[in-house]
Amino acid sequence: GHNGQTEAAVDLAKAYQFGVGTPENVDKSEQYWHEALTLNSTEAYLGYAGFLLDKKAKQPTDGAVKDLIWKAADLDDPRALSAAFQIAVSTDDRAQQSRWIDKLRQQSQQGDITSSLELADAYLAQGSEHFSPAAALGLYKAAATNGNAYAQAK
């Protein structure tokens, strides 16, 4: 199936990117990342964004990186929403900040722990008009009550 193939492309892209079981090869890694992007999956978008940051020395605010993270965020992945929010903060894009944090809030209200923790991190972003350590603390406490190890370690 198409999915198995593309998932394999993600694995191969990572193998060549990090030199796992094969010598590191940036060109081959990029080739497989491009193949993986046809998946339209969060993992492929975030993975390739990571590759650009890691191997091509791009900045998070770089157009190509931002575009990949926006795409992943549009698929409602909480980690991508959080990353998109952080980029919007660093570029002082208030409309995008509101857009992404609202999506995280919706997911958090539906009881998604990952979203709640990413939302808490978003509330701690310096220079955001949404900055609210008290709101973040409330989310961490709620998550800790649900027995989440990550929140208890905070």
Instruction: Give the model confidence (pLDDT) of 90-122 as tens digits.
Output: 999 999 999 999 999 999 999 889 999 999 999
Rg (CA), the chain: 17
From the DSSP assignment, how many helices (H) and strands (E) are in the chain? 9, 0
pLDDT band at 147 (very low <50, low <70, confident <90, very high): low
Alpha helices in 110-132 (DSSP H): 113-123
Tens-place pLDDT, residues 28-74: 999 999 999 998 999 999 999 999 999 999 998 899 999 999 999 99
Cβ pair 81, 73 in contact under 8 A:
yes
Pick from 88, 107, 115: nearest CA to 99: 88
Pick from 105, 128, 130: nearest CA to 118: 105
Q: Which two tokens stand for residue 17?
A: 């990117």
Over the range 9-28, which residues count as b (16 or more CB within 10 Å of their CB) and which as e? Answer: bbebbbbbbeeeeeeeeeeb
Residues with Cβ within 8 Å of 94's Cβ and at least 6 positions away in sequence, in order, are 88, 129
- Would the pLDDT of 76 be above 50? yes
pTM for the model: 0.81
Residue 71: in which H helix or E strand, if any?
A: helix 63-74
